[in-house]
């Protein structure tokens, strides 16, 4: 399942990427281009724009009326059945990030040594595998950037 988010949904796009979903997002994009990309790449349009969804021939889309990015995330993952898995203890299980939250690019595994200079020392000592975005160079490791997301998801799904 692939998405394209309109320019008002930057935070939602970031969270979806952290969950591993292919989500395009451009801070500035013309409606016509957004619609064309959605059509050509078979992407579901996520939008806050009531005007946009009235365009004739718009393909699959979801209008998000709530202004809060976490409520938006909740609506998307429940509507499309993308809820995260739960561990035996009923906690949310998030697999390691596979996609850059900034670029939507897939992450590449890198040798541990290469990450040494670029991540906090405690992270280097406690983590065994590291990945990096080939586009922006951002480093990722198990659990990185997901803590806040996991907490918020627990709250949204009323697990806490």
For Zn ion, which is the closer residue by CB, 18 or 156?
18
Which residues contribute to the site for Zn ion (CB under 5 A)? 100, 102-103, 133, 135-136, 138
Complete DSSP assignment for 63-130: E-----HHHHHHHHHHHTT-PPEE-TTSPEE-PPP-B-TTT-PBEEEE-HHHHGGGS-HHHHHH-S-E
In the complex with Zn ion, the residue whose CB is nearer, 73 or 133, is 133
Distance of closest approach, residue 145 Cβ to Zn ion, in angstroms: 11
- Least distance between Zn ion and beta carbon 147 (Å): 19
Least distance in Å: CB of 107 to Zn ion?
8
Nearer to Zn ion, 91 or 108 (CB): 108
Residue 108 CB, nearest approach to Zn ion (Å): 11
Question: Among residues 36 and 108, whose Cβ is nearest to Zn ion?
Answer: 108
Cβ-count burial 90-123 (b if 16+ within 10 Å, e if not): eebebebbebbbebbbebeebeeeebeeebeeeb
């Amino acid at each position: 399942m692939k998405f394209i988010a309109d320019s008002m949904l930057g935070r939602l796009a970031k969270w979806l990427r952290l969950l591993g979903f292919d989500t395009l997002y451009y801070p500035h994009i013309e409606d016509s281009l957004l619609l064309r990309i959605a059509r050509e790449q078979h992407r579901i349009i996520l939008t806050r724009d009531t005007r946009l969804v009235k365009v004739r021939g718009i393909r699959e889309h979801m209008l998000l009326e709530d202004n809060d990015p976490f409520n938006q995330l909740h609506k998307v993952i429940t509507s499309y059945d993308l809820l995260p898995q739960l561990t035996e203890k009923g906690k949310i299980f998030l697999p390691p990030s596979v996609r850059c939250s900034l670029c939507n690019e897939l992450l590449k595994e890198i040798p541990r040594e290469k990450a040494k200079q670029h991540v906090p020392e405690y992270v280097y000592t406690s983590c065994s595998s590291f990945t990096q975005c080939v586009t922006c160079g951002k480093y990722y490791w198990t659990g990185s950037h997901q803590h806040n997301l996991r907490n918020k998801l627990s709250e949204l799904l009323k697990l806490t």
